[in-house]
Structure 1
Amino acid sequence: MARSALLNVMVNAAIKAGRSLSRDFNEVENLQVSRKGPADFVSKADLRAEQIVYEELRKARPTYAFLMEEGGVMEGTDGQHTWIVDPLDGTTNFLHSIPLFAVAIALQRGEDIVAAVIYNPVMDELYTAEKGNGAWLSDRKRLRVAGRRHLSDAVVATGIKTQGTANDALQLRQLAAINPAVAGIRRSGSIAIDMAWLASGRFDALWEAGLQPWDVAPGLLMVREAGGLVTDYAGQPGSVWNGQIVAGNEALQGALLKTLQPIQ
């Protein structure tokens, strides 16, 4: 696949930040096992990666706005374009030396997400997508969502939190209903990787709520460009702003949504 100049900018930023995270990741195991020490280290690694992404994107497109997990909103003069950035999706995995985390970047133009990059530096897997041009793995393999048609054959991904909020209690009820209906449930610890793996057919479907725009935006485009369907829990087109996703091919997404909707 020939990348556009815009996608090249995003890829270069993600890879440069990924190299920084990889160096820091190799130091995690050597840290003293204490809550303060590793957590503080990871926070610094996160901020370093975000600064790299910010500098690379700002240099290439100085008028674009930013929405970043750590840095928040930075207004631009362009008025139409916003970079949405998660420099380290899968922080808990990173902290525990689990090699499932990613740099995730999306570009919003007006109301639409038009380009996305998800990069796992440890596995060296680079997922890219542009609106209308498909989703790709390492520029060589075009991605398509899996073709399975029945939940009983499907491996379904989600996020499982344990903070005791109302949303978490709802998810436990959802898990109780979905678990016997599917072939398996997986939790990678990174929503960006979940959605990239859904787009590539490794996972068959996915659901989660309580998400932030930087969690959803890159994977949303990735799944759609791979032929998948993404909605919220009400069955409306999945938005980066309402924090809910139910995704998969048309058959599985519909079946999963039908299972989820009665659960309150």
Structure 2
Amino acid sequence: MREFLKNIMIEAGRVALEQKQRLGEVKVDRKSEKDLVTEADVAVEEYLVGQIKERYPDHAIVGEETGEHEGGEYRWIIDPIDGTTSFVHDQPFFSTSVAVEKDGETVLGAVNAPVLGELFMAEKGKGATLNGEAIHVSDRERLIDSVLGTGFACVRQNLEHNNLPYFAEIVTRIRGVRRYGSAAMDLSYVACGRLDGFWELNLQIYDVAAGVLIVQEAGGVVSDFAGGEEGRPFETLATNGRIHEALSRELMEVQMRPGD
């Protein structure tokens, strides 16, 4: 199954790049005023769903664009283009993310950034890789030495409880922040040590399922903001493990303030 996943991820990347070559012709629709969906999202997801159904007809699938496809003990979770805004603006920071669950536990995950030529993969209990080479989280131990990633899906969706208060507090405590626009890539960057941590609100399962496994298999830790193992809905905190407690504490201090 791992080799099958690798092969369809590589081909899905080719589909995305073909769509990108005709960027000026690709139809762009709006899920909301700020949330975009393109023909490329649909084309990549249709390719992946078709391949999975052909190979594993009894497996369930949940896709960002096509929704739920019922099945048995295995479930495939697909985000065809994570970072659609980057795609539309001809920026390289978008990815395809696919995870595989067995009886509710994620056992395989892959994130492909086709413009950058980078395929991150992980298998439960067998580590994480980038283009076939083993990867590991960073060894930084202090927030002040750390570079973190974050995102603003909550702002794009005009939610009252959003990331801005957290950002204003955290940015003063660290070396720097990077904003790539794809949570799947952010998590993969934590896994390979390019980022020391990542936090965001209001992400969906297809945004994070593959990336979470990749971080964990690279030696990192993923939780909700409070550090809970199960994770509260819509809170994602991923780090190299060494800064996890400190970053969790900073996030919770903001969350506990009156009005936040």
Match of 2:33 in 1: none
What is the alpha-carbon distance in structure 1 between the residues aligned to residue 164 and residue 5 of structure 2?
Answer: 37
Residue among 197, 214, 228 paired with 2:220 = 228
Amino acid at match of 1:167: H
Match of 2:247 in 1: 256
What is the alpha-carbon distance in structure 2 between the residues aligned to residue 210 and residue 167 of structure 1?
Answer: 10
What is the alpha-carbon distance in structure 2 between the residues aligned to residue 55 and residue 131 of structure 1?
Answer: 25
Match of 1:190 in 2: 182
Amino acid at match of 1:262: E
Give runs of aligned pairs for residues 115-154 of structure 1, distance below 5 A. 115-139=108-132, 141-154=133-146
What is the alpha-carbon distance in structure 1 between the residues aligned to residue 244 and residue 55 of structure 2?
Answer: 37
Residue among 77, 97, 104 paired with 1:111 = 104
Q: Do the aligned residues in 2 keep the contact of 1:192 with 1:216 (CA within 8 Å)?
A: yes
State the SS of the aligned residue for 1:23: helix
Amino acid at match of 1:23: E
Compute the RMSD of aligned alpha carbons: 1.7
Which is helix-richer, 1 or 2?
1
State the SS of the aligned residue for 2:194: coil
What is the alpha-carbon distance in structure 2 between the residues aligned to residue 167 and residue 158 of structure 1?
Answer: 15
Match of 2:57 in 1: 62
Match of 2:149 in 1: 157
Q: Scaled by the length of structure 2, what TM-score is found?
A: 0.91
Match of 2:39 in 1: 44
Q: 1:111 Cα deviation (Å)? A: 2.5
Amino acid at match of 2:160: A
Match of 1:15 in 2: 10
Amino acid at match of 2:221: L
Is the aligned partner of 1:167 residue 2:161?
yes
What percentage of aligned pairs have identical amino acids?
Answer: 35
Structure 2, unmatched stretches of 5+, are 31-35, 256-260
Q: 1:42 Cα deviation (Å)? A: 5.6
Kindly report structure 1 stretches of 4+ aligned residues shifted beyond 3 Å.
37-42, 161-164
Amino acid at match of 1:261: M
Residue among 210, 213, 216 paired with 1:218 = 210
State the SS of the aligned residue for 2:219: coil
What is the alpha-carbon distance in structure 1 between the residues aligned to residue 106 and residue 230 of structure 2?
Answer: 11
State the SS of the aligned residue for 1:166: coil
Q: 1:138 to 1:128 in 2, by over 3 A?
A: same
Structure 1, unmatched stretches of 5+, are 1-5
Question: What's the CA shift string for 1:50-106, capped at 9, x where partnerless?
Answer: 010011111221110011100111101x2x110000011000000000011111100
What is the alpha-carbon distance in structure 1 between the residues aligned to residue 10 and residue 161 of structure 2?
Answer: 34
Q: 1:107 Cα deviation (Å)? A: 0.4
What is the alpha-carbon distance in structure 2 between the residues aligned to residue 138 and residue 23 of structure 1?
Answer: 21
Which stretch shifts more, 9-18 or 205-214? 9-18
Is the aligned partner of 1:84 residue 2:65?
no
Match of 1:209 in 2: 201
State the SS of the aligned residue for 2:195: coil
Q: Do the aligned residues in 2 keep the contact of 1:21 with 1:45 (CA within 8 Å)?
A: yes
Match of 1:3 in 2: none
State the SS of the aligned residue for 1:180: coil
Q: Number of aligned pairs?
A: 248
Q: Scaled by the length of structure 1, what TM-score is found?
A: 0.89
